[in-house]
Amino acid sequence: MKRIVCVILCAALLICAQTFAEDAPIGSVATQDEMTDVIDMNLDGAAPVTADMLNDGEYFALVDSSSAMFKTVGCALTVQDGSMTARLYMKSRAYSYIYAGTAQEAASTPAGRLIPLSEDENGLYFELPLSALDSAYTCAALSHRKQAWYPRTLVFRSDSLPLDAFKAEYLTTPAALALADGVYECAAVLEGKGKRASCRRQILRL
């Protein structure tokens, strides 16, 4: 009888400990001295791309980050029934959790409501719900080593998706522009991470 009571008590203590761990916040807000330089996300004139503009499916998307310390290797974007989910793949285990909000909010949020780092056959990832592409995704990331929350801004880029990801009514085509057959010139800009090439003239033949 005593043994049964002990087992029940131990089980109850384990449940209480687990519940407490899920309810307790993790980490503190990183100090200003710990912050690194913020990269300009340059969203001027960008129009958000929402799930209703895309066909259901799974796509590979590129992601820009406001910090060089938050190293991503791309993401698997799932569009289904008017909603989007991004499986954001990370280069390492440098961050343990993500919170969709500010660092201050993350530091006071119960652990059970944080997005944990997970792993599948393709690597380490965070599973994030998305409202739009080409829009600033404000979040905070918990440094595994420092146990401090850092503010981050991510941009999931629609220009990295294949054309067939977009519904026909949201694609800009020569027909939509009402262009007559002919030869046209337009300015083209080549961009890369940390570098920007000069403009060049591109010939279009329709």
**Structural domain includes residue 8:** no
For residue 27, which amino acid is it?
A: G
What is the secondary structure of 32-77 as a DSSP string?
GGGPPPPPP---TTPPPB-GGGB-SEEEEE-EEES-TTS-EEEEEE
- Cα 50 to chain centroid distance, Å, stands at 14
Tens-digit pLDDT profile for residues 106-159: 999 999 999 999 999 999 999 999 999 999 999 999 999 999 999 999 999 999
Grade residue 2 by pLDDT with cuts at 50, 70 and 90.
Answer: low
pLDDT above 60 (res 18): no
Rounded to two decimals, the pTM is: 0.74
What local confidence, expressed as pLDDT, does residue 62 receive? 94
Residue 40 has pLDDT above 90, yes or no: no
Are 161 and 180 members of one domain?
no
Please indicate, yes or no, whether residues 183 and 123 belong to a single structural domain of this protein. Answer: no
Parent domain of 176: 172-205
pLDDT in tens, 68-109: 999 999 899 999 999 999 999 999 999 999 999 999 999 999
Identify whether 15 is part of a domain. no
Q: How far apart are CA 49 and CA 47, in angstroms?
A: 6
Distance CA 169, CA 165 (A): 12
Q: Provide the 10 A C-beta neighbour count for residue 56.
A: 12
C-beta separation of 114 from 97 below 8 A: yes
* Whether 75 and 104 share a structural domain: yes
Dmax (CA) for the chain in angstroms is 92
User: Is there a domain that residue 161 lies in?
Assistant: yes
Structural domain count of the chain = 2
Residue 7 pLDDT? 42
Per-residue model confidence (pLDDT) at position 82: 92
Q: Residue 202 pLDDT > 50, yes or no? A: no
Residue that finishes a domain, picked among 165, 181, 196: 165
Average pLDDT of the chain is: 81
Give the mean model confidence (pLDDT) for residues 183-191.
64
CATH number at 127 reads 2.60.40.1850
Looking at the fold, whether 151 and 189 belong to one and the same domain comes out as: no
